[in-house]
Structure 1
Amino acid sequence: MNFATESPWKYLILWMRLYFTIHYLASGLNFVIFDFVPDFSKAGKVGPYLAAMADVGFYQVIKYLEVVLGMMLLFNVGVPLALIVMAGISVTIVYLNLFISPHPRQLFTGIQELLLNGGLLLAYGGHYASLCRIKSKPYWFWDGLARRQDPNLRSEA
């Protein structure tokens, strides 16, 4: 048993994962179900950027991706992968909300993204440890999956 799965940490991590799930699902489903796109003209300096994203369809792709990622967190399926993809979205949100358009609501959202995604990345960080090796050899994805299924297999990575 590792420290992250012991009480009270496991409950804190579960709460963070579920809160982040609700945040992503609410944001994504608001667009997917109700076709809601906010008025970007009131977003200050960020408005033209978000409007351009919507014009080329990238905003819509992000909203559908938020639903998929939120479902992954909700059902505890591929959480480390979901968090890595969410990190890209979070970095954009943090940058725009903390540095480009630092209004009170955006400041809260930026800090929330930073704390939730950062905390969960740390909580699931053991899954990324092998990515931080200084030197490594090629190691096929499917060989890594086979090794996880059979702990007796040795890897050369």
Structure 2
Amino acid sequence: MNMAHESPWKYLVMWARLYFAFHYLESGLYYVVFRYVPDFSHAGKVGAYIGAMADVGFYQMVKYLETILGTLLLLDIAVPLALIVMAGISVTIVFLNLFVSPDPRELFTGLQELLLNGTLLLAYGGYYANFFRIKAKPFWFWDGMKREGFEPGSKW
């Protein structure tokens, strides 16, 4: 069996990564560049929640984080780490859009988040394989970085 980066599927994974990157960059940069915080009073049940997030600055922090994560995906830097962080944001979006306020537009957004993040997490899933070990021993972060491709002076 071919490795994922050697198979034709790599182009689908690259397309999904770039699409998700632009999705996050659009969402984040809209706040970062224009300082635009939407009026959440018409957002139904979700409005009070997101409005409270904006009041305490959490919404704004998420927008900066989306910009950073979108940039990481676009530039193909630390993609497995970015996807794990994005998963937290995606779970919140999916829950709010599919269960709390299932408006047709929100249904599309929730399903898009679920599909893109889920697909990319599976595509980069080999990096998370060690998380599922039944018996795990302590393993320092810096020792893990000594694995293939992470030796000092090697090409990343």
The TM-score, its normalising length taken from structure 2, stands at 0.93
Q: Which residue of 1 aligns with 2:10?
A: 10
CA RMSD of aligned residues (A): 1.2
- How far off is 1:39 after superposition? 1.0
Structure 2 stretches lacking a partner, 5+ long: 152-156
Fraction of identical pairs, as percent: 71
Aligned to 1:116: 116
Instruction: After TM superposition, list the pairs within 5 Å mapping 1:61-72 onto structure 2.
Output: 61-72=61-72
Q: State the match for 2:42 in structure 1.
A: 42
Give the Cα–Cα distance (whole angstroms) in 2 for the partners of residues 113 and 30 of structure 1: 18
Q: Which amino acid aligns with 1:43?
A: A
Letter in 2 for 1:62: V
Aligned to 2:29: 29
The whole-number CA distance in structure 2 between the counterparts of 1:79 and 1:2 is 21
**Residue matched to 1:129:** 129
Matched, 1:140 2:153: no
Normalised by the length of structure 1, the TM-score is 0.92
> Deviating runs (4+, > 4 A) in structure 1?
none
**Which whole-Å CA distance do the structure 2 matches of 1:147 and 1:113 have between them?**
32
Report the Cα offset of residue 6 of structure 1: 3.5
What's the offset of the Cα at 1:5?
1.9
How many residue pairs match? The answer is 150
Which secondary structure does the structure 2 equivalent of 1:147 belong to? coil
